[in-house]
Structure 1
Amino acid sequence: MSFPIHGIPKHLSLIIFSCALTLIILLNIPQTNPQIKPHASPRSEPAVDLSNLADDESENIKIVYDSGTEKIKSPGELQARSRLAQALPKTLPPAAVVLPESQANVTMYRPSYFHLPDLTVKEAYRGLIKQYLAPWKGLEDKAIPAVKVTQRMLATMEYAYKGGGFRVRICNNKVYFRKLVHWKQTYRTQRMLWYLRLLYEILKKDKLLSEKTMQKGLDFVIYVGDGAKVASDTFTTEAGFPLFSLRTSMLHIDIPIPDPVQHGSNGQYKWTEAGKTVPWENRKPQLMFRGRGSCLKMQADNWHFCNRVRLQQLSRQFPDDIDAGIIQWNQIYKAGKMVIPPASIEEIERSTGLKTVEPMDFDNQSHYKYIIDVDGGLGSSRKPGILSSGSLLFSSESPWYTYYEPMMEPYKHYIPVDRWLRNLPETVKWAQANDEHAKTIMENGRKFEAKFLTVASSKQYMALLLDEYAGLLAEDVPGDAKVEVDYCLNMGNQDIENGPMGCSQGWILYNDHEVPDEITCDRRGR
C-alpha cells in the first residue's frame, strides 16, 4: 500500500517511499569489525571485566571465535578470555586472537580461582585452603559454629579408609603414624613414605608449622589412593569427613594435598633436564601422548568409551597432527562378578583396530610442541611434568582435580580440550596456526609450575593447611596415647589382625628416611 505525497504524482511517491525505506535499513546494518577475519561473524561480547588489563592491551587485543555466535557454556570462559589477552606479549601487532568455535563448548569441572596466581605463594595457597575447608569452617558472622574434628570422627575415618589410608599424629616435635592393613598396591606404600618424609621435613628441617599448631598438635588421616572418597550425600556410607586426599571433585569434599607421584614417588613423571632445554623452534608441531590404557575395568565391550582409546584412534585419523599411542592394556581381568567372560587383548585390539605401541622416554617426548594429559579414570599426575617440559600442555577437562588446578587458567597456562576429545583436531590446528600465542601459553605454564609446584611450595601449602586444620580439632592431641578403638575387638577383621600393627592401639614413630619394618611385614606395633 502506498500513500501519495502532496504535489507529487502517485507513481513518483511510491519510488520515493521505497528509496527512503531502503536507506533506513542500510543505516541500521552494523559495520564490519576490521579486526575479525572476513569469514567470521562478530561474536556478541557480553560484559567482561577488563579492569585488571592495561589500556593498550584491552584496546589492541580482541578475542573472537571463527564462526557465529552461541551461548556461553563454560562459567570460567569470560575470565579465561580476558586473561588470555593479558597473557599475550605486547610485542604482537594489534590483531584478533581467533579461537576455534569448538572451544566455546569446553566445560570446566572445577572451581575457578584465576586471580590467585597473581598473589604470592602463601597468599594464593591461603585462598585455596579457605575454599577447601569451607564445609567445616562454619559461618562466624552468622553465629554458625565450625564442625569440630573429634577423636571419634578420626577413629571412624581411620577404619573406613584403611584400604588406602593411614593416620598421622604430630606432637611433641615428633611424627607418628598408624597403618591398619597391608595394601595390595605397592605404590601406595611409596606414596605414604613420601608424605611422612614431607611432614618430617616440615616439622624438623623447615620448621614451617606455627607455634600455636605445635602446642596443640595434629591428628589427621591421609588417603593415598588415586580418587576422591568423601561425598556429602545420603548415598555414601562414609560421608562428611575431613579426609586428606590426592584429588577431589565438585561432588566430593576431600581436602586435596600435594600428589607424591608428581614429585616422583614411584620414579615416574619427573622430566629430564635435557628434555626441558630443547628449543621451541626445534620441536615438531604435533600433539603427542604415550600411556597405558587406564580408564575403566574393561569388560563387555565398554572399552570403546575410554578416552585413551579414542585418542589413539584420532591419531590414526590425523597422523600429521597427533602422535598418540597406548603402550599397555592394563585394566583387563580386574572387574568384579562378570556376566560376560572377560575380554582378551586380542578382542580389544580387533574391535578397536588398535595395537599397543612402544613407550617413549621424556627426552624424545620433548621433541614435540604439544603434549596432552588425558586422565586415566581418576585424575592425572602428569601436569607438573608437562608444564615444566617446554612443551605446551593440552588437557582434557576432567571431573577430578588436584589442589592447584583451580588456579590454572585456560588459554593462559594450558589449552583446554573437551572431556570427550570432540574438539581436539581443531584445537591442534589452532595451535599450529598461532605459534606465537601457543609459545606464550607454554611459557606461562612453565612459570606457573616453577612458582607453585615445587617441593618447597608443596611444603608451604601443606604447612598452611595444617595450621588451619589444627583450629578444627576439638581438643589438644593426646601425644602418642593409644587410640580409643580396638578394631580387632569391635570389628573382628582378620586383615587388621594380620596387618602391619596387628591389633595394637599404639603408634609407630617415624624417623627421617627410615622405612619401618612394620610396612613390609606383619610385626605388631608397640
Structure 2
Amino acid sequence: QVYIKTYGEHVGFRIFMDAILLSLTRKVKMPDVEFFVNLGDWPLEKKKSPQNLHPIFSWCGSIESKDIVMPTYDLTDSVLETMGRVSLDMMSVQANTGPPWEDKNTTAFWRGRDSRKERLELVKLSRKYPEIIDAAFTNFFFFKHDESLYGPIVKHISFFDFFKYKYQINIDGTVAAYRLPYLLAGNSVVLKQDSIYYEHFYNELQPWKHYIPFKSDLSDLLEKLQWAKEHDEEAKNIAKSGQEFARNNLMGDHIFCYYFKLFQEYASLQVNEPKIRDGMEKVQQPDDDLFPCTCHRKK
C-alpha cells in the first residue's frame, strides 16, 4: 500500500511518483519505507549545508548537491506507458533509428526550447555555420525578449526524425537534458555537454566510449564535430557503444529493478520504523479493465 502527503503549491508531478510506486507494489514485495521526494527538477540538498543533511529523493543530481537520484520522471513515465499513451519510449526509439550510418545527414542536429543560455549560443553557432550545425528553437519561454535574435521558432518534428542526422547534440536545459537515454538508444553519435548535473546512470557512462564530450561553454564543439567527421569509423563505434549501453542499462526492466533496489537499500538504512502519519492519504490502485486480475494474494 502507498500513502502520501504533499507539501507546497506545485505538486502536479506527484503523478509520476504515484505511478511507479503503485506499479512496484503490484509486481514485488516492497519493504516498509518512508521517504521525502523532491517533485521539482532542481536538486535541493546542498553539499555545503551547515545543518545535518536530509535524505531527499530527486530525479536529477548535481556535483553541488547530495540528493539521492532516481530515474527521471520522463524515463519513468516512458517505461510505465511503453507502447501506450506516450509517443516516445526506449522500445520505440530502437525501431525508428533512421537510415544506416553511411546514409545519415552529416549536419549536427538539435531542437528544443530556450531553457539555458548555452542553448542560445548553440543556435548562434548554427546561424554562423549552417553547413555544420542545424539547431533551432521550437518554443520560447525563458528568453522571450531575445526571440527576435534567436528565432523564429520552428515546427516540432518527430523525435525519430532526429536520427536522420549522424551527430546528436545533447545540451542541458534547466537541469540535465532528460532526452539523453533516447539519444543513446538511436544509432547516431551523441555529443554531450560537460555539466554539473547528472541522471541516475551518468556514473556508468564513459566519454569517448559512449559519447563525445564537449566543454560546457561550447568553445570546442566545432572542434569535436570536425574530429567526428575526420574519424568516421571511430564515431560510428562510439554511437554503437552508446546504443549498447542504453539497451543494457536503460530499458524497462532495468528501471524497475533500479527503483526496487534503491528503496530496498534505503529501507535497510532506516533508523525509525516507518508509519502512516497524520494527513497522509492512501493512493488507490487504478482500475484496469484491459487486464483484470482475479487472483487472490496472500499476505
Question: TM-score, length-normalised on structure 2?
Answer: 0.85
**Residue in structure 1 matched with residue 23 of structure 2 by the alignment:** 201
Asked if the contact 1:196–1:510 (Cα under 8 Å) also holds between the matched residues in 2, the reply is no
**Residue in structure 2 matched with residue 314 of structure 1 by the alignment:** 125
Asked if the contact 1:275–1:362 (Cα under 8 Å) also holds between the matched residues in 2, the reply is no
**Identical columns (%):** 26
The root-mean-square deviation of aligned C-alpha atoms, in Å, is 2.3
Asked if the contact 1:292–1:327 (Cα under 8 Å) also holds between the matched residues in 2, the reply is yes
SS of residue in 2 equivalent to 1:323: strand
Asked if the contact 2:98–2:164 (Cα under 8 Å) also holds between the matched residues in 1, the reply is no
Q: Is residue 284 of structure 2 the alignment partner of residue 510 of structure 1?
A: yes
SS of residue in 1 equivalent to 2:269: coil
Task: Summarize the Cα distance change of 1:206–1:279 in structure 2 as closer, same or farther, 3 Å threshold.
Answer: farther
Unaligned residue ranges in structure 1 (runs of 5+): 1-173, 296-305, 333-344, 484-504, 515-526
2:214 counterpart letter in structure 1: V
Alignment counterpart, residue 252 of structure 1, candidates 65, 72, 78? 65
SS of residue in 2 equivalent to 1:376: coil
1:287 counterpart letter in structure 2: A
Asked if the contact 1:256–1:403 (Cα under 8 Å) also holds between the matched residues in 2, the reply is yes
Asked if the contact 2:38–2:56 (Cα under 8 Å) also holds between the matched residues in 1, the reply is yes
SS of residue in 1 equivalent to 2:111: strand
Asked if the contact 1:232–1:239 (Cα under 8 Å) also holds between the matched residues in 2, the reply is no
**Residue in structure 2 matched with residue 121 of structure 1 by the alignment:** none
RCO higher in structure (CA 8 A, sep ≥6): 2
SS of residue in 2 equivalent to 1:276: coil
Alignment counterpart, residue 45 of structure 2, candidates 207, 230, 234? 230
State the Cα distance separating 1:364 from its structure 2 match: 2.1
Q: Is residue 12 of structure 2 the alignment partner of residue 180 of structure 1?
A: no
2:283 counterpart letter in structure 1: L
SS of residue in 1 equivalent to 2:35: strand
- C-alpha separation between the residues in 1 aligned to 2:179 and 2:131? 24
Q: Which entry has the higher C-alpha Rg, 1 or 2? A: 1
State the Cα distance separating 1:318 from its structure 2 match: 1.5
- C-alpha separation between the residues in 2 aligned to 1:513 and 1:400? 37
State the Cα distance separating 1:328 from its structure 2 match: 1.6
2:102 counterpart letter in structure 1: E
**Residue in structure 2 matched with residue 412 of structure 1 by the alignment:** 209
Asked if the contact 2:107–2:165 (Cα under 8 Å) also holds between the matched residues in 1, the reply is yes
- C-alpha separation between the residues in 1 aligned to 2:218 and 2:72? 25
2:71 counterpart letter in structure 1: P
SS of residue in 2 equivalent to 1:275: coil
SS of residue in 2 equivalent to 1:288: strand
Task: Summarize the Cα distance change of 1:262–1:513 in structure 2 as closer, same or farther, 3 Å threshold.
Answer: farther
Unaligned residue ranges in structure 2 (runs of 5+): 79-84, 289-299
Written as runs of structure 1 = structure 2, the 5 A alignment for 1:268-283 is 270=89, 272-283=93-104
Q: What do residues 268-324 of structure 1 show as CA deviations (whole Å, max 9, x unaligned)?
A: 7535455225321221112100000112xxxxxxxxxx1111001111111111111
How many pairs does the alignment contain? 280
- C-alpha separation between the residues in 2 aligned to 1:249 and 1:326? 26
Q: What do residues 448-499 of structure 1 show as CA deviations (whole Å, max 9, x unaligned)?
A: 1111112211111111111211122222223x3x34xxxxxxxxxxxxxxxx
Asked if the contact 1:292–1:326 (Cα under 8 Å) also holds between the matched residues in 2, the reply is yes
Q: Is residue 288 of structure 2 the alignment partner of residue 288 of structure 1?
A: no
Task: Summarize the Cα distance change of 1:180–1:353 in structure 2 as closer, same or farther, 3 Å threshold.
Answer: closer
- C-alpha separation between the residues in 1 aligned to 2:287 and 2:179? 25
Q: What do residues 45-90 of structure 1 show as CA deviations (whole Å, max 9, x unaligned)?
A: xxxxxxxxxxxxxxxxxxxxxxxxxxxxxxxxxxxxxxxxxxxxxx
Q: What do residues 14-54 of structure 1 show as CA deviations (whole Å, max 9, x unaligned)?
A: xxxxxxxxxxxxxxxxxxxxxxxxxxxxxxxxxxxxxxxxx
- C-alpha separation between the residues in 1 aligned to 2:47 and 2:139? 36
SS of residue in 2 equivalent to 1:218: coil
Asked if the contact 1:176–1:510 (Cα under 8 Å) also holds between the matched residues in 2, the reply is no
Alignment counterpart, residue 199 of structure 2, candidates 397, 402, 407? 402
SS of residue in 2 equivalent to 1:314: helix
- C-alpha separation between the residues in 2 aligned to 1:277 and 1:360? 14
State the Cα distance separating 1:264 from its structure 2 match: 4.4
- C-alpha separation between the residues in 2 aligned to 1:287 and 1:513? 45
Question: TM-score, length-normalised on structure 1?
Answer: 0.50
Task: Summarize the Cα distance change of 1:371–1:182 in structure 2 as closer, same or farther, 3 Å threshold.
Answer: same
State the Cα distance separating 1:263 from its structure 2 match: 4.2
State the Cα distance separating 1:506 from its structure 2 match: 3.4
**Residue in structure 2 matched with residue 348 of structure 1 by the alignment:** 146
SS of residue in 1 equivalent to 2:74: helix
**Residue in structure 2 matched with residue 15 of structure 1 by the alignment:** none
State the Cα distance separating 1:198 from its structure 2 match: 1.9
Alignment counterpart, residue 221 of structure 1, candidates 36, 41, 44? 36
State the Cα distance separating 1:355 from its structure 2 match: 2.9
- C-alpha separation between the residues in 2 aligned to 1:472 and 1:331? 41
Task: Summarize the Cα distance change of 1:268–1:395 in structure 2 as closer, same or farther, 3 Å threshold.
Answer: farther
2:105 counterpart letter in structure 1: K
Written as runs of structure 1 = structure 2, the 5 A alignment for 1:371-382 is 371-382=168-179
Q: What do residues 237-267 of structure 1 show as CA deviations (whole Å, max 9, x unaligned)?
A: x761100001111211000001121244694
**Residue in structure 2 matched with residue 325 of structure 1 by the alignment:** 136
Task: Summarize the Cα distance change of 1:398–1:508 in structure 2 as closer, same or farther, 3 Å threshold.
Answer: same
Task: Summarize the Cα distance change of 1:374–1:268 in structure 2 as closer, same or farther, 3 Å threshold.
Answer: farther
